[in-house]
């Protein structure tokens, strides 16, 4: 007869302690990578939001500086309707223009010099020509539209009338 078989004991797996250490290290590194990726994504979102805010409010200092000139213009318009003297109104507007120039100049805006100078196509735009007994050919007789530079960058060339030389 067959002898009753003894149950075979289940083999208990032998776990190498190095495997446990390595699996723990892999889990720790995986978690660190996931956290780093999440931090990077959050930082990218913050950076994008900051860029939007920067673009949205970049003009704030300039706007704040020109508001007094805007107030002066409003006051000038109001006084123009009640003032009999055109000179008083002109003086008020001249003051407002000076306030605007001062505010904008404090932010790097500079008017392009042109009148009487040699025509410079990099800074001037010739709108017409006329004879001049005073200025030589190629010099700017007068400025029709001011040109402007912002921190050494030309925003708009000065629109000028250029001398053709003496009248024939």
pLDDT 10s digits, 65-89: 888 888 878 877 777 777 667 777 7
What is the rounded distance in angstroms from the CA atom of residue 134 to the CA atom of residue 161? Answer: 14
pLDDT reported for residue 85? 77
- 108 Rama class: left (phi>0) / alpha (psi -120 to 50) / beta: left
What's the sign of the alpha-carbon dihedral 120, 126, 131, 132?
negative
pLDDT reported for residue 2? 61
Q: Give the DSSP letter of residue 106.
A: T
Which residues neighbour 96 within 8 Å (Cβ) at sequence distance 6 or greater?
69, 72, 73, 76
Q: What is the mean pLDDT of residues 88-116?
A: 87
Query: Quick one: pLDDT band at residue 137, thresholds 50, 70, 90?
Result: very high
Percentage of the chain exceeding pLDDT 90: 45
Nearest C-alpha neighbor of 115 from the set 94, 142, 93 = 142
Instruction: Say what the pTM is.
Output: 0.60
Mean residue pLDDT across the chain: 87
Q: Give the DSSP letter of residue 146.
A: -
pLDDT reported for residue 129? 94
């Amino acid at each position: 007869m067959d002898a009753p078989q003894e149950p075979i004991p289940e083999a208990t797996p032998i776990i190498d302690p190095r495997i446990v250490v390595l699996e723990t290290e892999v889990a720790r590194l995986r978690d660190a990578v996931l956290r780093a990726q999440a931090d990077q994504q959050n930082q990218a979102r913050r950076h994008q939001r900051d860029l939007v805010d920067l673009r949205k409010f970049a003009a704030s200092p300039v706007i704040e500086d020109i508001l007094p000139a805007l107030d002066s213009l409003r006051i000038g318009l109001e006084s123009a309707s009640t003032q009999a003297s055109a000179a008083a109104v002109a003086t008020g507007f001249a003051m407002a223009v000076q306030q605007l120039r001062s505010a904008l100049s404090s932010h790097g805006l500079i008017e392009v010099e042109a009148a009487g100078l040699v025509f410079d196509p990099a800074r001037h735009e010739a709108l017409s020509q006329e004879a001049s007994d005073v200025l030589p050919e190629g010099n700017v007789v007068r400025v029709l539209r001011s040109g402007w530079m912002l921190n050494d960058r030309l925003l708009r060339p000065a629109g000028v009338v250029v001398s053709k030389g003496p009248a024939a």
